[in-house]
A and B are shown apart, each in its own frame.
Chain A
Amino acid sequence: MIPTDWLGPQEWQAVRLSLRVAGVATLVSLPFAIGVAWLLARRRFPGHGLLSGIVHLPLILPPVVTGYLLLVTFGTQGPVGSMLKPLGIVFAFRWTGAALACGIMGFPLMVRAIRLGFEAVDPRLEQAAATLGAPRPWIFLTVTLPLILPAILAGATLGFAKAMGEFGATITFVSNIPGQTQTLPSAIYALLQTPSGESAALRLVAVSVVIAMGAVLVSEWLARRMKGRG
């Protein structure tokens, strides 16, 4: 048995919340990231540059600005937030808001990795599949996606790692409420603000290092396994 009492209940809560926030942020944004990466890699349309710019914005803007923009858009008084509220979807000061902030901050990293994957797939393989009678959605599922799986994994790992570490946008958008929105980085930040919190902060730092390393190792293992198959 691994002893669990070296972290206090509040710290464990932060770890669990962070894993949930990062997991949900990655899984929900992944299909959108694949779609946007495909558009940017394979399609030429008016607004191509604009879309690319908007997607990359969270990478360049100060995270506090992104968090503030999320707050004024998705807050209960914001244009989108007030529309979603009657449907029971609330982001402000909830863990879902933390997931939204983390998803948006990690989005450009995922799109970049997956877009490189699309650009590396030889479109002539897809042409060959078309001459064999396969409809385009089927070609995408059976030829394109399997060939870019390593890139998708790389993108998901980057997005997950980014989400685990996201601080500025999250704390601006959903604040730092223990049990609600206090993720690992905000818990570390809060502990460092209290005189006796340094050793607990250090333990949480160790946890985040272990999780980040674990994510990288798992994705490398998956990529190797897939390479063996394909």
Chain B
Amino acid sequence: MLEVAFRHRFPGLALDVAFEAPSGVTALFGPSGCGKSTAINAIAGLLRPDQGRIALDGRVLFADRTNLTPQARRIGCVFQDARLFPHMTVEANLRYPSRWRRGAARDFDRIIGMLALEPLLQRRPDTLSGGERQRVAIGRALLSDPALLVMDEPLAALDEARKAEIMPWLERLRDEIRLPILYVSHSVAEVLRLATTVVLMRQGRVLHSGPLTRILADPELAPQLGAREAGALISATVEGREADGMIRVATAGGPMLLPDLDLPRGQALRLRILAHEVILAREAPQGLSALNVLPVTVARVDGGLIQLSFGNERMLAQVTPRSVKALELLPGTQCHAIVKSVSVLPS
């Protein structure tokens, strides 16, 4: 658990940042210039905030009388610009931390294998592609035996093809290495794919922080991720294959059907349901082409965004104010959610 609370003044920007990052991937999300990089520099010990307290797993990194050096914090950093040492080979870069962080030396082969760095070892950083450079930077940070991995927009400097190349490695990292990760990003797509917890930042302040699924299903917060992106992320488990090849999955609101995908029984999934893909009906609809109809309860109404609850999950529906009136949608109203389309994310 990372606990962060600090204030810092720059000319033109006053930061007042407070959040907690549990295990898993915590995304620090916000537009450029909102103070994300300052926050991670303060956490990594590269910037001394005016005041506050920063602690990692109960170990105080920064407080009134404490200010641990970056060396003593054991926070692995992956920067946007990789920052590999240009005068060393890839292997020398990867082995650089081992003199001081002996704990990681034994992991060398495993991490080289996980990130497929073997063919790059004798190369020099200026001969690597942007994606390869980031992979080496991730490996080097992991080999510093960190207690927390901080990634500052590791994909921002890459083109779409390189991003697609790196993303599976990041997912592997999240799933294979039990290491809390603080992931700074201004890209919704990256946050959706990687994060378990989201810290929303605006102009030097934390707007909200909490589990990704809660934020996505919150009518007030979801638009902060971008209007087109409002919608819920719910978990599901593959139950089996129907005779016509469709996949049946179990969700908190009952079974749903997905198109034919090569997924084994018992596979855990995350389903992304965008608010404008959900239609509401007061009566159970008949004769529909849509396959997925879930009984839901209206939890909140915020303009045209309706938060619906089913079991312990939440999702959003985008409707017009006229429909809100016509259907008499109020908190507690029972209705049916017709889900037009679902996208599947690996869990």
Contact = CB atoms under 8 A, between A and B. Distances in A.
A131 B99 contact: no
Interface string B95-121: 011011100000000000000000000
A132 B79 contact: no
Contact of B71 (A134, A143, A146): A134
Contact of B144 (A125, A131, A143, A229): A131
A72 interface: no
Contact of A134 (B83, B86, B100): B100
Contact of A131 (B44, B85, B86, B87): B44
A130 interface: yes
Interface residues of B, number: 27
A132 B144 contact: yes
A127 interface: yes
B173 interface: no
Interface string A151-176: 00000000000000000000000000
Given A124-B79, A128-B77, A128-B79, A134 B99 contact: yes
Given A127-B46, A127-B70, A128-B77, A133 B97 contact: yes
B96 A132 contact: yes
Interface in A88-144: 122, 124-125, 127-135, 138, 142-143
Nearest to A134: B100
Contacts of A124: 79, 81, 83
B219 interface: no
A36 to B, nearest CB: 24
A230 interface: yes
Among A122, A132, A230, find the residue whose CB has the most chain B CB atoms closer than 10 A: A132
Contacts of A127: 46, 70, 83
Interface in A210-230: 229-230
Contact of B83 (A128, A138, A146): A128
A213 B100 CA distance: 44
Nearest to B83: A128
B275 interface: no
A33 interface: no
A147 B86 contact: yes
Given A131-B45, A132-B96, A138-B100, 8 more contacts: A125-B86, A128-B83, A131-B75, A131-B144, A132-B101, A134-B97, A135-B71, A230-B88
15 contacts: A122-B83, A128-B79, A130-B70, A130-B71, A131-B46, A131-B71, A131-B144, A132-B76, A132-B140, A132-B144, A133-B74, A133-B145, A134-B99, A230-B86, A230-B88
8 A-B pairs closest in CB distance: A230-B87, A133-B100, A132-B97, A128-B83, A130-B70, A131-B77, A132-B144, A133-B101
